[in-house]
């Protein structure tokens, strides 16, 4: 009884608090991310980044004299839940813009709802090309695109590795095959011939048959579109069969688990991959990174991407003097914004004009560094 | 050497070099022998109680974790000879996995011995989910790995090219053959083997003749699990990486191998595994790796159409 009594008094109190906050809150921005589920770690990064950005912007007087209030929308990286969360953000919370989502499969359906409501969305992480290929005016990304990643890899293979022929392998997944296809197309444009194009099965560990094929194709380099669970065994089995040509792969292998799956540092030595330059090393973000670290939080991976997304939204709303979604997206497409990630500008589709990817290389100690 | 060109074989999908062919054969045989070892678990259990043990793939997965734990512990105590590590790991993994096999049988199948045929099938799927989640929660969802224990590679020149076989692969082939021979000896020449065969042929009659068939069934689960454990150790050595989901695909492949060779037949399981492994590798090499599973399953369908009992299986009179 005591407990119920307590709860019943606490609840109205909480509601009245929320109400009073809403009354003060002038600009509501949704944060759509997987706050629960297997990708919750990334969801937290996105939430933390946005939260810190809102705090910093509000401390400087907010946007058009109004304070930013963030509203959580948990998608758990599931398309269905993403739609529910998006509807809730739009209909109940009445947000004027959204930062999100994380998984491309959530961003795609959720952004349809934001588009209908004519509000601006910036995804700090989703990289599937189709997100900005659907002609939705208000969809932007702070992340790269998978095909930009393929372009960077192809440039490197053609110009730095000076390869004439390449074997392109993928994992038959939307992401892996998508990147492999764009890399293959970019390689063709650079005059590099793809002599072998094969898919392997995710979850398998034996790729010896494909490796033998790579060997007999006499390619100068291998490009693998996929993630570390397959990249590790693949590169190991290549080296075991005496295939010593360069191995280039995607940002889906950026984890020390690549060394684990390959079975040792000697196998991953020299592996090349495309990835974002670590935003924590940028001059533009030093003050913010320090702020995070002082608060006892390491701004990993997507934290600063989320921070920058809110900065871009705030800049657009300040410039147009309101929160109109159409005007804000027009403004973003014709102006550039100074963010913690540097100066960013967007093309007509809502993609970053400059490809954010660079090449990384694994060394003999099982660490990777930017080239 | 101009004579080399005569070594080229013409294939419908282009010219395949002899060295590539031999290399793919080696790839296929190593993969296939491991499929075969796991297939034994399916085939023995099916042979004796006519039930497909869908948890067997997970038993293999558990044994991969046990192998890694054992290797880590032995290395920690400063043992660095390959023979000692592998011997210790094999004994530890086979014994503990055998206990898992026994426990699974006690918990999930024995209470259902006289129920409908579907009931133990469902409890097998249940056990497989339990094992997967138990390992995921206790060990984490991350990829796990072991260091390379056996270094070194043999290299043969063939024609213009070369064939490379790692020492680990040779070890796998040897261990799989020894494992198979040992099992065949046990089934053919020991008291336990005779009891197993008797129970397989007629459970009720064996019971009347004084064989404790419940115990025999438990033994069969232990033997199946031990062969799965042997495969687990070998695969862990060869690929160096595994996760809590590793049992799924390889379980399905091994089950296919068991059906292909004739479910219920021991040599059939091994033969089915080898055929599956070699056909996957050669098809990937000659045509396309994307469709290797399509090819192996088409092969399975073809064989089952013409020989429903599998390659070495005995035709069964169904009791309706």
CA A315 from chain center: how many Å? 21
Which positions in chain B have a beta carbon within 8 angstroms of at least one beta carbon in chain A?
Answer: 17, 19-20, 23-24, 27-28, 30-31, 141-148, 153, 155, 161-162, 164, 166, 235, 239-243, 245-246, 248-249, 280-282, 284-285, 288-290, 292-293
A220 and A361 share one domain: yes
Regarding whether A262 and A164 lie in a shared domain, the answer is yes
Residue A29: give its domain's CATH number: 3.40.50.2300
* Whether the predicted pLDDT of A22 surpasses 50: no
Q: Within this chain, do residues A199 and A304 fall inside the same structural domain, yes or no?
A: no
| Domain shared by A227 and A209, yes or no | yes
Are A71 and A178 part of one and the same domain? no
Residue with tokens 């064996």: B206
- pLDDT attached to residue B4: 40
| Same domain membership, residue A47 and residue A162 | no
User: Quick one: A157 and A66 in the same domain?
Assistant: no
This prediction's pTM: 0.79
Tell me: pLDDT of A1 over 50: no
CA distance A232 to chain B (A): 8
Alpha helices in B240-262, H assignment, sequence order: 246-261
pLDDT score, position B9: 43
| CA dihedral sign, ordered B277, B307, B13, A203 | negative
The residue-averaged pLDDT of A245-249 equals 95
Chain A, 285-344: which have a CB under 8 Å from a chain B CB?
none
Q: How confident is the model at residue A273 (pLDDT cuts 50, 70, 90)?
A: very high
**How many Cβ pairs within 8 Å bridge chains A and B?**
103
Predicted local distance difference test score (pLDDT) of residue B316: 62
Q: Tell me the shortest Cα–Cα distance from B143 to chain A, in angstroms.
A: 7
Tell me the ipTM for this assembly. Answer: 0.84
Region A60-71: what's the mean pLDDT? 89
- A205 contact residues in B (CB cutoff 8 A): 235, 239, 241-242, 246
Q: What is the mean pLDDT of residues A78-94?
A: 91
Half-sphere exposure of B266 (CA within 13 A, CB side): 20
Residue A348 neighbours by CB under 8 Å, 6+ apart: A333
Asked if residue A347 is part of any domain, the answer here is no
Beta bridge partners of A165: A193
CB-CB neighbors (< 8 A) of A264 in chain B = 147-148, 240
Q: Which residues of A touch B20 (CB under 8 A)?
A: 212-213, 215-216
Residue A305 lies in a domain: yes
For residue A352, give every residue at least 6 positions away whose Cβ sits within 8 Å of its Cβ, in sequence order, or none.
A141, A142, A143, A144, A145, A344, A345, A346
Are both A219 and A323 inside the same structural domain? no
Task: Work out the pLDDT band at A20, boundaries 50, 70, 90.
Answer: very low
* Contact of A122 with A141, CB cutoff 8 Å: yes
What residues of B are in contact with residue A260 (Cβ under 8 Å)? 142-145, 241
Checking if the pLDDT of A154 tops 80, the result is: yes
Q: Is residue A350 part of a domain?
A: no
Answer whether B290 sits within 8 Å of A209, measured CB to CB: no
Domains in chain A: how many in total?
A: 2
**Section A44-59 average pLDDT:** 91
What range does the domain containing A302 cover? Answer: 2-144+281-340
Assess whether pLDDT exceeds 70 at residue A6.
no
Ranges of chain B with pLDDT below 70: 1-16, 316-320
What phi and psi, each to the nearest 5 degrees, are found at residue A235?
-70, -35
- Calculate ∠ Cα B133-B64-B108, nearest 5°: 50
Q: Is residue A268 located within the same domain as residue A302?
A: no
Sort strands A342-345 and A336-339 into parallel, antiparallel or unpaired.
antiparallel
Instruction: With respect to residue A98, please indicate whether it lies within any of the assigned structural domains.
Output: yes
Same domain, A13 and A105: yes
Which residues fall within 8 angstroms of residue B131, CB to CB, at 6 or more apart? B55, B58, B59, B61, B62, B247
Comparing A254 with B8, which gets the higher pLDDT? Answer: A254
- Which of B13, B23, B25, B173 would you mutate first to test chain A, the one with the most A CBs within 10 A? B23
pLDDT of residue A87: 93
Q: Answer whether B28's CB lies under 8 Å from B278's CB.
A: yes
Q: What is the DSSP string of A258-316?
A: HHHHHTSHHHHTT-EEEE---GGG-GGGHHHHHHHHHTT----TTHHHHHHHHHHHHHH
Average pLDDT over all residues of chain A: 87
**DSSP per residue over A254-268, as a string?**
-STHHHHHHTSHHHH
Q: Where are the alpha helices (DSSP H) in chain B?
A: 18-49, 56-76, 82-104, 118-139, 167-189, 191-201, 203-208, 213-239, 246-261, 266-286, 292-306
Using a CB-CB cut-off of 8 Å, the residues of chain B touching A210 are: 284, 289
CA–CA min distance A252, chain B (Å): 14
The Cα–Cα gap between B297 and A277 comes to 45
DSSP one-letter code for A138: T
| Mean of pLDDT values over A298-325 | 89
User: Does the beta-carbon distance from B281 to A209 stay under 8 Å?
Assistant: yes
Give the length of chain B.
320
Half-sphere exposure of B121 (CA within 13 A, CB side): 7
| CB count in 10 Å sphere of residue B122 | 13
- Residues A231-251, buried b or exposed e (16+ Cβ, 10 A)? bbbbbbbbbbbebebbbbbbb
Q: Is A346 among the domain residues? A: no
pLDDT score of A50 more than 60 = yes
pLDDT tens per residue, range B111-164: 988 888 888 889 999 999 999 889 888 887 778 888 888 888 888 887 777 888
pLDDT at site A257 = 82
Mean pLDDT, residues A46-54:
92
A201 confidence band (pLDDT: 50, 70, 90): confident
Q: pLDDT band at residue A19, thresholds of 50, 70 and 90?
A: very low
Rounded Cα distance between A211 and B284, Å, is 10
Residues of B within 8 A of A229 (CB-CB) are 143, 241, 243
B30/A208 Cβ within 8 A = yes
Chain A contacts of B285, Cβ < 8 Å? 209, 212-213
Residue A348 lies in a domain: no
Query: Angle B308-B312-B317 (CA atoms, 0-180°, nearest 5)?
Result: 50
Which is more confident, A333 or A254? A333
* Torsion (CA) B38, B42, B48, B53 in degrees, nearest 10: 130
Pair A197, A300 in one domain: no
Q: Mind listing the domains of chain B with CATH numbers?
A: 2-306 (1.10.3470)
Residue A297 domain-assigned (yes or no): yes
A261 — contact with chain B (CB < 8 Å)? Answer: yes
Q: What is the pLDDT of residue B126?
A: 92
Residues A158 and A114 placed together within one structural domain of the fold = no
Residue A99 lies in a domain: yes
């Amino acid at each position: 009884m005591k407990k119920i009594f307590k709860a019943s008094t606490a609840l109205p109190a909480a509601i009245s608090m929320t109400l009073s906050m809403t009354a003060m809150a002038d600009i509501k921005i949704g944060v759509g991310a997987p706050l629960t589920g297997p990708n919750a770690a990334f969801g937290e990064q996105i939430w933390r980044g946005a939260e810190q950005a809102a705090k910093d912007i509000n401390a400087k007087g907010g946007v058009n004299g109004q304070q930013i209030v963030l509203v959580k929308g948990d998608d758990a990286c599931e398309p269905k839940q993403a739609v529910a969360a998006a509807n809730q953000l739009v209909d109940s919370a009445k947000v004027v813009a959204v930062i999100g989502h994380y998984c491309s499969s959530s961003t795609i359906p959720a952004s349809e709802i934001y588009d209908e409501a004519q509000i601006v969305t910036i995804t700090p992480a989703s990289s599937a090309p189709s997100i900005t290929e659907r002609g939705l005016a208000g969809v932007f990304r702070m992340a790269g695109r998978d095909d930009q990643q393929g372009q960077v890899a192809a440039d490197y293979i053609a110009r730095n590795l000076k390869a004439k022929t390449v074997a392109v392998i993928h994992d038959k997944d939307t992401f892996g095959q998508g990147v492999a296809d764009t890399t293959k197309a970019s390689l063709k444009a650079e005059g590099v011939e793809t002599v072998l194009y094969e898919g392997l099965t995710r979850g398998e560990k034996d790729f010896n048959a494909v490796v033998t094929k790579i060997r007999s194709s006499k390619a100068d380099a291998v490009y693998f579109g996929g993630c570390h669970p397959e990249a590790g065994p693949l590169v190991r089995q290549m080296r075991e069969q005496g295939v010593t040509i360069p191995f280039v792969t995607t940002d889906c292998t950026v984890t020390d688990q690549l060394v684990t799956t390959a079975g040792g540092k000697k196998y991953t030595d020299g592996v090349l991959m495309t990835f974002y330059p670590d935003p924590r090393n940028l001059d533009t973000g030093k003050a913010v990174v320090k702020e995070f670290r002082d608060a006892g939080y390491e701004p990993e991976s997507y934290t600063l991407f989320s921070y920058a997304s809110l900065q871009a939204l705030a800049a657009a709303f300040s410039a147009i003097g309101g929160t109109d979604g159409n005007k804000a997206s027009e403004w973003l497409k014709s102006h550039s914004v100074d963010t913690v990630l540097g100066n960013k500008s967007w093309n007509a589709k809502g993609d970053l004009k400059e490809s954010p990817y660079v090449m990384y290389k694994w060394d003999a100690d099982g660490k990777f560094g930017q080239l | 050497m101009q004579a080399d060109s005569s070594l080229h074989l013409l294939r419908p999908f282009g010219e395949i070099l002899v060295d590539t062919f031999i290399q793919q054969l080696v790839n296929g045989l190593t993969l296939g022998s491991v499929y075969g070892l796991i297939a034994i678990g399916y085939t023995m259990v099916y042979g004796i109680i006519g039930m497909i043990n869908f948890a067997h793939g997970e038993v293999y997965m558990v044994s991969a974790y046990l192998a890694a734990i054992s290797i880590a512990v032995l290395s920690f105590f400063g043992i660095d000879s390959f023979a000692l590590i592998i011997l210790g790991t094999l004994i530890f993994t086979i014994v503990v996995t055998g206990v898992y096999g026994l426990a699974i049988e006690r918990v999930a199948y024995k209470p259902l011995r006289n129920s409908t045929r579907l009931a133990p099938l469902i409890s097998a799927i249940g056990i497989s989910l339990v094992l997967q989640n138990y390992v995921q929660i206790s060990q984490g969802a991350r990829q796990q790995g072991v260091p390379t224990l056996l270094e070194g590679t043999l290299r043969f020149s063939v024609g213009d090219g070369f064939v490379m076989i790692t020492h680990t692969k040779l070890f796998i082939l040897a261990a799989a053959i020894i494992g198979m021979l040992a099992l065949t000896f046990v089934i053919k020449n020991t008291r336990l083997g005779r009891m197993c065969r008797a129970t397989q042929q007629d459970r009720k009659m064996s019971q009347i003749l004084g064989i404790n068939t419940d115990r025999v069934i438990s033994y069969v689960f232990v033997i199946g699990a031990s062969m799965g454990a042997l495969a687990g150790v070998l695969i862990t050595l060869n690929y160096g990486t595994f996760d809590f989901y590793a049992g799924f695909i390889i379980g399905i492949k091994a089950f296919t191998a068991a059906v292909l060779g004739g479910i219920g037949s021991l040599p059939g399981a091994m033969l089915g595994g080898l055929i599956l492994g070699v056909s996957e590798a050669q098809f990937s090499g000659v045509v396309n790796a994307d469709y290797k599973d399509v090819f192996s399953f088409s092969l399975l369908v073809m064989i089952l159409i013409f020989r429903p009992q599998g390659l070495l299986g005995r035709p069964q009179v169904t009791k309706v």
